[in-house]
Amino acid sequence: MAAQLIDGRAMASGLRRELAERVRKLAAKGVKPGLGVILAGNNPASRIYVQKKEEACAEVGIQSVHHDLPATSTEKEILKLVERLNADRTVHGILLQLPLPEGVDERKVIDSIAPEKDVDGFTTGNAGRLFTGKKSVTPCTPKGILKLIDSTGVDLKGKHAVVIGRSNIVGKPVALLLLERHATVTICHSRTKDLGEATRQADVLVVAVGKAGLVDQSMVKRGAVVIDVGMNRLPDGRVVGDCNPDVREAAGWLTPVPGGVGPMTVACLMENTVEAFLLAQKALGKVAGKPAEAAERGLHGKD
């Protein structure tokens, strides 16, 4: 039987609606979350991603303020802007769209973002907190992936999860989150000797490589949950994932591309921004109650 498709678009839309409702209630108190968006350079894909994120902000009721910097921007100029946004009380999250112009030290700029405004969860400090199981901002794509897996009702405890890819933004953090949920985790990469042998063990398979057709049905355990993170543009303009279409014949659940992980990544960025806003309000004593349950919903780990 063909795999059931996991509708990331519908899930993301539901999450945005829920967030919009929370923001609407807060707006009645005269406060509003703000996202500072930095786009440096002319990368066309980056421009499209930023546009989608800003559209989502508008839908949720987050005030996004766009900062367009030229491709000739220096590291110093970008650092100065981050510093300004760090100090701006109307900005609760900072979205630094990558890649940055050539010659700019990305790690240095990312790490200059105030940890409480790091809504992508990319700073070394927040990555370290994730690694040590402390409460921190969950990076958006991995967070969305976990929500997509959870939507299948499959309990991760004791399951074998295989992640293909070990990048700092997808592979490694998703492996840590799966581990935190008590899955037995295998991470594969370009030097893995026999990829198929590893992937056939997977009850849950996360493919985050960027190579169309890398995984076919012969590499998938029957009934597995397969999350296809890859986004590859074909010469004819179509965008496809890393899984061959025949994976549908073997998997139990599969995320489509487009319409799977992508929309959930954007929705989770919205969620992280609202959480950052709530935590900032709480710090100012403007949100009543205990360490705002709501504020903690998007966070993982312990204090």
Measured from the CB atom, is 34 or 230 closer to ligand NAP? 230
Per the CB < 8 A criterion, the answer to whether 179 and 204 are in contact is no
Instruction: Determine if 104 is a binding residue for ligand NAP (CB under 6 A).
Output: no
DSSP states of 9-50 as a string?
HHHHHHHHHHHHHHHHHHHTTT---EEEEEEES--HHHHHHH
Instruction: Determine if 62 is a binding residue for ligand NAP (CB under 6 A).
Output: no
Measured from the CB atom, is 121 or 171 closer to ligand NAP? 171
State which of residues 76, 89, 157, 191 lies at the interface with ligand NAP (CB under 6 A): 191
Between residue 202 and residue 221, which ones bind ligand NAP under the rule CB under 6 A? 208-211, 214
**Was 167 annotated as part of a binding site?**
yes
Residue 146 CB coordination number (10 Å) = 21
Residue 13, classified by CB atoms within 10 Å of its CB into exposed (0-12), middle (13-18) or buried (19+), is middle
Instruction: Determine if 231 is a binding residue for ligand NAP (CB under 6 A).
Output: yes
State which of residues 169, 206, 251, 267 lies at the interface with ligand NAP (CB under 6 A): 169
Q: Vertex 297, ends 291 and 299: CA angle to 5°?
A: 90
Taking the C-alpha atoms of residue 158 and residue 161, their distance in angstroms, rounded to an integer, is 9
**Was 166 annotated as part of a binding site?**
yes
Instruction: Determine if 164 is a binding residue for ligand NAP (CB under 6 A).
Output: yes
Measured from the CB atom, is 202 or 287 closer to ligand NAP? 202
- Phi/psi at 96 (5° precision): -105, 100
Long-range contacts of 74-79 (CB under 8 A, 24+ apart): 74/103, 74/104, 75/103, 75/104, 75/105, 75/108, 75/109, 78/38, 78/40, 78/104, 78/109, 79/108, 79/109, 79/112
State which of residues 43, 151, 152, 167 lies at the interface with ligand NAP (CB under 6 A): 167
Q: Which stretch binds ligand NAP (CB under 6 A): 27-35, 168-176, 217-225, 243-251?
A: 168-176
Please, what's the b/e burial string for 211-231 (b: 16 or more CB within 10 A of its CB; e: otherwise)?
ebebbbbebbbeebbbbbbbb
Please indicate whether residue 150 is annotated as part of the active site.
no
Please indicate whether residue 53 is annotated as part of the active site.
yes
Q: Which of 118, 120, 228, 242 is flagged as catalytic?
A: 120
Instruction: Determine if 165 is a binding residue for ligand NAP (CB under 6 A).
Output: yes
Site size for ligand NAP (CB under 6 A): 26
Please indicate whether residue 97 is annotated as part of the active site.
yes
Measured from the CB atom, is 209 or 278 closer to ligand NAP? 209
Minimum Å gap between C-beta 124 and ligand NAP is: 17
Under DSSP, the state recorded for 97 is: P
Give the residue ranges of the annotated binding site for NADP(+): 165-167
Q: Which residues are annotated as a binding site?
A: 165-167
Enumerate the active-site residues.
53, 97, 120
Contact residues for ligand NAP, defined by CB under 6 A? 141, 164-167, 169-171, 188-192, 195, 208-211, 214, 229-232, 261-262, 265
